[in-house]
A and B are shown apart, each in its own frame.
Chain A
């Protein structure tokens, strides 16, 4: 087989008692865009980190173009022309694009041939259709542009095998299509791509061969005509019973529900001034009734974070009226708002959502720590009660943890999100504000979270569901409000949902 580029044989890797990779055999042909598909925790990233030299395998061999190689550090992999773009940016924010690319790849210790490098980078970025401002500091650039820089950095290092780890996590739809175009060019120029993702929709669009992983094992590799949504879902979830619609999202039944006569949340002419942390909002007015899920659709960075945040943290609002159950919350602190039966799950689950050094129990308490239920004499925390509440969250939200005392950072992303979601249900809820609760999660967890939102709605509570994925919003929402550049562009009822129309409004056209 002369066309074979990469072959992994019998790779095993264990972390403590967890078998992350169990006897993995994986082959990539030259010139492929090879999808590596699996749920969170299936072992995709572990396998790729072994190829990139970040982990050493316990057992097994790696062959490149038929030759056995050992990769014990990223330097080895760069020498073997393997490049990797990580899920989270590894660029130095204070450096420009040019400086980032030069970092670690150019010159001796004391010489920096800037002009030469610049010319070569510009050539490369033109060749591969990846244009970016080369002299701008990276901290001022969007996630999509940062990714381009990381790709060019790998190509600059001479990579002919490019590993992209969940490259679409922080991309918007249009950036994703641009990435697809670039991938096609890579293949033409002789670069082979491994594309790691948990989204079936993406591999269907991007890849011509797909390997499915599950629980540390390779399920199968499918190619060409065998590629189909159904077969991939079966391979990914085997015994799990998940129904999937055309766009590879879970099918969730949203039953009829009784909508309350009075709104649980009403915003009247709310304005938020623009700051470094918040995009501005102008004159936002809407109502959410009990038994209703209101979605907010927006391209990331158009004020969707401000909408979610202003409801729980009224101090950022400078004009307008906000009412929960008819009572003004404008002068309330975050905890006062929580006391009125509102709770929040933030967008960035690791940085805003959890106490990463704390236990599951401590994390469940956060936000409820001033409630009488958990305090004795308004001074001492009743940790017994907190344990009970945490146990309930673990049980009702299927959090995979041995007990509530485990450090939360040892949980997977999906289980962390379930804990954050479960925390919202610790006290009676009138209104849940949730922002991108499903981002980066596999389809079974997405389905689980959707069902919880629907359950909440059936109990007569309201949900403000701010989400970057329009497909997801259209599955569970009763109404969708569209936000562009801090202004509300329209609210659609379920019967009026039209992906094309909403999409146009989201990008500011109408």
Chain B
């Protein structure tokens, strides 16, 4: 009986997502055909680049990790029905504070076992506290978090410029705002082309799942999202819950930014936390909307979105099809998923 229910749920999910993807790829194909390219070539490039070579696969994982954290940044505050548009800003803060602290501590010559965990915590705190500003403004002054988080994105962007151009950290040989490299004791390496932060990400996936589904805090966040008034009536502290939700979301985004610095670039680059020229924050929102804020499905959706992003880069290189065509199909996927879920599922957004 229970197994049947689970199988039904999975089948229904596959049907919703499958049909949305098929429909979106159909629409994309029409555009590709109109632009005068070969449709079957384009589709196979889009969907298989990630799996055809180890380079393609490691590129996909490199994108999946920051995208996953950006997705969590939106998903967790969204569980209490608030929009955190500031995932990107929180990633930037996580990344640039990590870089600043890492460079400042370089002369101490701390071993990696101290340096790396320290910087991970610093990155998380930076992102978390930055998001907490929006949570605090909502809890105490009823400021709409959509507005505050969008505004804070600008602050974070300028803060990256400030750090990357400051004489303390700037790499004098670069024309672009870029800091010097962090000491090797602070950076993370690769295993077979895949960034080692993948292991950390897997741990975070498990922790987020446990937190949301099994802990008291997860229940309180869920309850506030289900019904604010009832949770207040039965003693849940709304202000504390919303601030915690924003802090956790922001901390995960900050961790994403921190890992970009420690594992991908090895330093702070103005314009990091972007893929194919667009912010991870935006893709994180898209991905979160696709999974309707379900923290369990987020890693799968983040991986699939990354497959499309890698495919998009490849399309541009090999067939000169602009990456924007793939952004288009991602947006269409989201819209179809939302529509189909509204029409046939149990709601969501």
List residues of chain A with CB under 8 Å of any chain B CB: 333-335, 338, 344, 346, 351-358, 362, 365-367, 369-370, 375, 378-381, 383
Contact = CB atoms under 8 A, between A and B. Distances in A.
A193 to B, nearest CB: 35
B81 to A, nearest CB: 10
B230 A352 contact: yes
A335 B210 CA distance: 24
B220 interface: yes
Interface stretch (B23-31, B61-69, B185-193, B221-229): B221-229
A406 to B, nearest CB: 11
A466 B210 CA distance: 41
Given A344-B233, A351-B227, 18 more contacts: A344-B234, A351-B229, A352-B229, A352-B230, A352-B233, A353-B230, A355-B223, A355-B230, A357-B225, A367-B235, A369-B220, A370-B235, A378-B216, A379-B216, A380-B210, A381-B216, A381-B218, A381-B219
Given A334-B234, A338-B235, A379 B226 contact: no
B214 interface: yes
A505 B317 CA distance: 84
26 contacts: A334-B233, A334-B235, A335-B235, A338-B235, A344-B234, A346-B230, A352-B229, A352-B230, A352-B233, A353-B233, A355-B223, A355-B226, A355-B227, A356-B227, A357-B226, A358-B226, A362-B219, A366-B223, A366-B231, A367-B234, A367-B235, A369-B219, A369-B236, A370-B216, A379-B216, A383-B214
A200 B111 CA distance: 81
Nearest to B218: A381
Interface string B194-224: 0000000000000000100011101110110
Nearest to A343: B234
A8 B265 CA distance: 74
Contact of B234 (A366, A381, A383): A366
B233 A375 contact: no
Nearest to A353: B230
A333 B236 CA distance: 10
B9 to A, nearest CB: 12
A367 B215 CA distance: 15
B220 to A, nearest CB: 7
Interface in B128-163: none
Contacts of B219: 362, 365, 369, 381
Contacts of B236: 369
A381 B236 CA distance: 15
Contacts of A335: 235
A346 B218 CA distance: 24
A423 to B, nearest CB: 9
B241 to A, nearest CB: 12
A342 to B, nearest CB: 11
A307 to B, nearest CB: 15
A354 to B, nearest CB: 6
A379 B235 contact: no
Contacts of A375: 216
A438 B218 CA distance: 32
Contacts of A353: 230, 233
A335 B235 CA distance: 5
A366 B229 CA distance: 12
B226 to A, nearest CB: 4
A358 B222 contact: yes
Interface in B218-257: 218-220, 222-223, 225-227, 229-231, 233-237
A365 B220 CA distance: 10
A344 B218 CA distance: 23
Nearest to B224: A355
A401 to B, nearest CB: 14
Contacts of A346: 230, 233
A379 B223 contact: no
A362 B235 contact: no
A358 B236 CA distance: 16
B215 A381 contact: yes
